[in-house]
Each structure stands twice: as C-alpha cells, then as structure tokens.
Amino acid sequence: MSPTLRDLITSGKIGGRCLRQIDHCYQKIDDRDFEVARKILGSAVFQSIHGDQDHDYDVDLSTLARCSFCSSCQRTRLQQVKDYHQELIKCFNDELTASAESRRDSGYDSASERDPEHISAESQQTESQKRKERRTCHPNQLEEYAKKIKDMERETDGFQREITDLKQELENGRKHYQQLEHQHAQMVDYANTEYGKAIAEGNAKSAELEEERRQHEQLKHQHTQTIKHGEAKYAEMFNEAQAKFAELMQKITGLESRNLWIQEQMHNQHTIDQNDLMKMAATIKELNAGLMYCRGEQYKLWLTPTSQHVVNTLEPM
C-alpha cells in the first residue's frame, strides 16, 4: 500500500527509492525528481489543505505521482504511475473532507472551503465571483495566499527549468537516434558491399576450381589412354622380339649343324680345300651377322666350344 498523502505531508519527504519495490525495483529516484517532490509536499498549500480554488492541486499530484518512481519506471510503467496518481487524488479528497470537517468543528468558517463533491462545480465559477470571494476572505488567508503565490512562482520556475531540461534531453535523444540510424545505414551498406564482394570472390574461386577439376579429369583420361597405348605397344614389341628371337635361334641351330658337319669332315679327312674354307668362312660370317641382333657377346653362348673357337679365329676376317 502506497503512503497516504497525509503521511507524506507529515513526514515532509518521500522515500528515496522507487515505489515499484513490490516488483523488485529498488532504483534510486533522481535527485531532481526527489527535490521537486519535496518542494510540493513542503509547500504551504499542502501543509494546510483547504481546497484553494486558485491552486491546481491536480498538476501537483500528477507531478508528485511521477516523481515517486524512478526514471525507468516513469517511461515503462505508465499505468502504475496513473494508478498512483488516482490514489493520491483519492487521499487528497479524503484529507480535504477531513480538513473541512475539522474546520467546521472548530467554528472557523471560510468562503474558500467547499465540500470535495463541489470542487468541479466551483472550478467553473466566473472570475468576478472568485474576486468577490477573495475580498471576503479572512485576513489570515490573504497572507496565506501571498505565501502560496510566492511558492507557486518558485515552483513554476522549477517546472520551467525542468521542462527546458526535458526538451533538451529530448533533442539530444533525437540527435543521438538520428546518429545511430545513420551509423546503422552505413553499417548495412558496408555489410552489403562486403557480402557482394565475398559472393563474387566465391563464384570466381568456384569457377577456377571447376576449371582445374576439368583439366585434371582431362589429364587423367590422357594418362589412361597413354598407359593403354604403351601396354599395347609393349606387347606388340615383345611379341615381335620373341618372333625374331625364335627365328634367330632357328638360324643358329641350322648354322650349328653345318658347323658340326664341317668339323666332322675336317676331322675325318684331315684335309680341307680352299672351297670348304670359303664356305666355312661364309657360314661363320652369316652366323656373326645374324647374331648381331643380340647385345654384347651373349650370342657366343649359343655356340659349341669348337664353333666359338672358329668364330674367334675368323672374326677379324
């Protein structure tokens, strides 16, 4: 339960913490709001409530309700501020009724005192009626009114400064918002530009990788074809070499047989004519020419020792 208006007036101050403590808000009230609330509660019109028609209590109560909350709750908890304002109005009406009853009981009558139910009707009085009431006021009330006017002037100056500060704060907030909006637009433009560059670079890199992959596939295909062609060529050359080797071995066998026959003839007859020597030399030369297909001296391994001797002897010829 929020403190009543009479409790606030009696204490002469308000709490230094936000009234939304029930919702775990313990923020400290701004010094400026706290000072404004103290001035309102310390003013003469609130110290002696009697329903002064020249004083706008509702404005003070509205200001008091707003100043009883921290700056954050003032902006975000408008409904709670309004509810507290209504509660202060109710407390004000109750206190006004109690004050009127107390004044009637004491025998003090004032033309300015009215029942709270007639406040709205009296606020519609003409200016001439109000002046007439002022002329019929008690002298003590005139002095009290003068004090009230001075207090109102001071409070008005404070409110004017507060309004000026709020306007300046609003202008600063608007400029700050525009600056943030401009920075946000620049950041969005920069992000879009960088994103476009990244997309373009990614597409170029993707195309480059695709070209490299295609070239790799092409080289792989060429390598496969080269291997197949090489294997076929090797098989062909191997078969050809085997055929030539078989043919050469056949010639070697025939020449070896002729060489044996010549050696037998030489051994049996112990003589050999010039014609036989020429035939033998021709045979050996033919054998030597055929064996040139073999590398090095390996062709001699296919000859008998006797033929090898003959070849070595006749080779310089």
Residues with Cβ within 8 Å of 260's Cβ and at least 6 positions away in sequence, in order, are 304
Work out the pLDDT band at 25, boundaries 50, 70, 90: low
Percentage of residues in the chain with pLDDT exceeding 70? Answer: 59
pLDDT at 296 over 60: no
Cα separation, 75 vs 313, in Å, equals 127
What's the pLDDT score for residue 135?
52
pLDDT of residue 96: 76
Give the model confidence (pLDDT) of 71-130 as tens digits. 777 777 778 778 888 888 888 787 777 777 776 666 544 444 445 444 445 445 555 555
**pTM strictly above 0.85:** no
CA atoms within 13 A on the CB side of 292: 7
The more confidently predicted of residues 268 and 256 is 256
Give the pLDDT of residue 110. 46
Contacts of 72 (CB under 8 A, 6+ apart): 25, 27
**Of 40, 95, 29, the residue nearest 64 (C-alpha):** 40
